[in-house]
Chain A
Amino acid sequence: MKYKNYILICAGTACESSKADEIYRNLMKELDAHKLLNETQVLKTGCFGFCEKGPIVKVLPDESFYVHVKPEDAKELVEEHIIKGRRVNRLLYNKPCEETNVAKKLDSIGFYQKQVRVVLRNCGFIDPEVIDEYIARDGYAALEKVLFEMSADDIINELKTSGLRGRGGAGFPTWRKGMFTKDAQNEEKFVVCNADEGDPGAYMDRSILEGDPHSVLEAMTIAGKTIGANRGYIYIRAEYPLAIHRLEVAIKQAKEFGLLGENILNSGFNFDIEIRLGAGAFVCGEETALLASLEGRRGMPVPRPPFPAVKGLWGKPTLINNVESYANIPAILTKGGNWFAQFGTESSKGTKVFALTGKITNSGLIEVPMGITLREIIYEIGGGIPNGKKFKAVQTGGPSGGMITADYLDTPIDFDNLIKLGSMMGSGGMIVMDEDDCVVDVSKFYLEFTVDESCGKCSPCRIGGRQLMNYLEKITNGEGTDEDIRKMRLIGHAMQMASLCALGQTAPNPIISTLAYFEDEYMAHIHDRKCPAGKCQKLIRYFINEKCIGCTLCAKKCPVDGCIKGEKKQVHVINQEACIKCGECERVCKFKAVVKI
C-alpha cells in the first residue's frame, strides 16, 4: 500500500445529504494540520449500502466502520485513530472483541455476511470521480480484451455462458437481445442505457451510477463494438443530479484516456456516449416510451413487435439494457461466463442488487446471489422487523409486482420463483411491511401511482386503472361490497390481457396478489367495516377504557371542540360523531387508556 491509512467516506446521495462533504473537508483540514496528508489518503467513494447508518466512514487497513459520523467528529477520528491508533469506540459499528481488541471483519457483520459483490464490486472502494482507481481494479480490461482479442460472437457466447438476464424487470436473456441487434442489418445502430429507475422505493441504479459510473460506460462501449454501433445514450432521471454529475465526469475522463470517443485504444473503433435526461414520467422506463422520449417527444409506448432490436431509436436497430445489466458485463468478460454462472440458480445466474426498505432494521442497498431466501435477506441481512412488530409481507417488483407472505419466506429468490408466487423480480425494490400496514391501503397507494403515471394512450389502462382505484377507495372508506371484489378481478384480468404496454398489464398485480393472500383482510373491510391493521382512517375508532384516571390531557389536546368529555378524575368519553380520528388522544395519553379498534 502506498499510504499507511486510507479513510473512505461514503459520498452517495444519502450520505452526501447528511454532510459527507463537510466531514471530508474537516478530515482533510485535521490531517493537514498534523502534516499527515502524505501518509493518509482520504477518498470519497460510492455507497456502502448501509444507508440508514450514514454518514459512514471506513478506515483501512484495519477495517474500522464508523457510523452516524458528524463533521465535528473529524478531529477526534484523526487525533485518536490516525495518530494514536486508538479506535473511536463511540462511533464504531463493528465494536472490537474485548480480549483481542481486534475489530470484527466487515464481512462478518450481519449486514454484509451473506452479500456477494459483483455489480457493486467497486462501490464504496473507489473514488468514482477518478478513473485511475477504476482502472486499478481491472477497469477497462474487458474493453481491451473485446477490442483486440474477441469477436462479436465470442462476446455473445460468453454472455450466453454467463446466463445473465436483464435486470430492468423482465429478465430477458441479455445475450439474445445482443444477438438480435447484432444481426439486424443497418448501417446505423444505437446502444441505450435505461437509467430511468422509476420504481418508487428503489435506488439500485442510482447507487451504481454514483459509485461506479465507468463500469456502465465500459459495458456500453463493449455493447457498441458487439452490435456495430458508434453511439450510445444514457437516459437518466433528472431527479438524480449527483449520478448525472458523476457520469459527466466519467465520460470526460474516459475520453481523455482514449477509452471513449474516436479510435479507442488505437483499435480503429469509435464510440461516443451522450447523456439524456428524463423528466419524471414512470412510463418512460418502458423501452419504447423511453425511445420516444429520447427522440424529444411525449413518452408514449408503441406496441411491440417490432422490437427495438429491429426498429428502435429513429427507426434504427437499438440495444437497450438496464444499468445493472450493463454493470455486470465487464466483470463477466474479465472473469468469464462460467465464473459468473457459479452464483445463482438454474434459471437465474449471478447476483441481484436490492433496495431493502420499509419496516426493516437495516435498510439499505444489498447485493445477494440469486437463490437466497427472503428469510435470509430479511432476518440475517436486514436484521428483522424493528420495534418488535410482526412481519406481514414483502413487496417485490414495485407497482407491477405483488406481495409475498410469511409462508413463502423460504422460497429461493429468482426470476421464475417470484412469478410463481404472483410477484416478479422487477428492478430490485424490496419493501418490507409489518402488522401495521394494511394491504388494501398499500394496493390503493400503488394504484394511485399507476393511474397517475398511465400515459392515457390505451383505454384498458387509462379507464381500468381508474375504476380499480375507485373500488379500493370505496373499500377503504368502509363502503365496499362483495360485488366490488368480483368486478376488480374482472377488470384486472381485462387490463392484463388488453393493455398496450406492461404498465397497464401489470397495474392490477398488487390487487390480484393481495386478494390471493389476504382476502380475509378485504373481507374485514367489507363485512365488518374494520381495518385489521388500523390504518384506514375511516374505519378506525378510538375509545377510552377504564384505565383513564381523568387527567383531562386528551380533552385539552383534542383539536375538535367538545369531542372528548368527562369530569376531572372521571373516565372520559369520545364522541364518535365528532371524532376526526387524528389519533392525538392516543398519542398524548400517558396511561394507555385510549385504544384504537
Chain B
Amino acid sequence: MTESMPVLAELTPELDAFIVEWKDKPGNLVMVLHKVQEIYRYIPRDVAAAVSKKLGVPLAKIYGVMTFYHYFKLEKPGKHIISVCMGTACYLKGGDKLLDELKKLLNVEANATTEDGQFTLQAVRCVGCCGLAPLITVGTNVYGTLPESRLPEILEKYSK
C-alpha cells in the first residue's frame, strides 16, 4: 500500500492562487494542468497529487487527462527543449533529416533527454510557421528554413 500513497507537494503561491481562482469554474482541470506545466515545466507526480486534493478530483482522473494530451510532460525535461517540426510542410522539406542529424549530434533518441540534462529532443506536429519549413524551435526561438549544416552552430549557442 505504501507505494500507492502519493506524496503531496507544497503548492507555490502562484499555483495556489490560480487554483483558488479556477476551482469553481467548470472544466478547469486542463487549465490547471497548463499552469502546473508553466511553473514546473512538466507535471511532477507530487504536484499532481496536491492538485488532486485541492480540486477534489481523483488522481486517476488527473492522470487520465494528462496522458491523453501530448502537450503535458510527465518527466522532467532538459534545460533546453528542442522541437523539430514534423508537420507536413516541414517533413516534405526535410524535417526528418534535421531530426536524424540532431539525434546524432546530441547522441539521444527522439522524445528523450541528453544525459547531462541540457537538451530534450522532441518531434512535434506543426508549430504554425510552415512558410519557414523546415524548422526547429529551441525554447521560444524559431529557427526556420534551416539546413542541417547550421545545427551545430545553434547547439553551440545553447551549450554554454
Contact = CB atoms under 8 A, between A and B. Distances in A.
B88 A13 contact: no
A177 interface: no
Contacts of A257: none
A364 B131 contact: yes
Interface in A175-210: 197-203, 206
Nearest to B92: A358
A201 B65 CA distance: 26
B80 interface: no
B88 A398 contact: yes
B144 A363 contact: no
Contact of B31 (A276, A314, A395): A276
Contacts of A295: 26-27
Interface stretch (A76-84, A122-130, A277-285): A277-285
Interface in A438-489: 442, 445-446, 449, 455
A596 interface: no
Interface in A27-61: 51-52, 54
* Chain B interface category by residue count: 35 or more
Contacts of A197: 128
Interface stretch (A87-95, A134-142, A325-333, A429-437): A429-437
A18 B64 CA distance: 38
Contacts of B86: 200
Interface string A1-23: 00000000000011001100000
Contact of A238 (B71, B90, B142, B145): B71
Contacts of A277: 30-31, 34
B129 A14 contact: yes
A363 B131 contact: yes
B32 to A, nearest CB: 9
Interface in A263-310: 276-282, 293-299
B19 interface: no
B103 to A, nearest CB: 14
B93 interface: yes
B76 interface: no
Given A239-B127, A277-B30, A294-B27, A357 B68 contact: no
B133 interface: yes
B110 interface: no
Interface residues of A, number: 52
Interface string A353-378: 00101110001110000000000000
Given A200-B88, A358-B88, A279 B64 contact: no
A281 B69 contact: yes
A314 B26 CA distance: 9
A442 B86 CA distance: 12
A359 B142 contact: no
Nearest to A434: B92
A280 B30 CA distance: 11
A110 interface: no
B68 A276 contact: no
A203 B92 contact: no
Contacts of B90: 201
A240 interface: yes
A363 B130 contact: yes
A241 interface: yes
B92 A241 contact: no
A357 B89 contact: yes
B125 interface: yes
A231 to B, nearest CB: 11
B88 A17 contact: no
A203 B130 contact: yes
Given A398-B88, A431-B89, A52 B126 contact: no
Given A239-B124, A445-B91, A449-B125, 5 more contacts: A202-B130, A281-B69, A296-B29, A431-B92, A433-B92
Closest 9 CB pairs of A and B: A51-B131, A200-B87, A17-B142, A279-B69, A201-B88, A280-B71, A280-B70, A296-B29, A357-B89
26 contacts: A17-B132, A17-B142, A18-B132, A200-B125, A200-B126, A201-B130, A203-B129, A239-B124, A241-B140, A276-B27, A279-B30, A279-B33, A279-B70, A279-B72, A282-B125, A295-B27, A296-B28, A298-B68, A299-B69, A355-B89, A355-B130, A358-B93, A364-B131, A429-B88, A445-B88, A445-B91
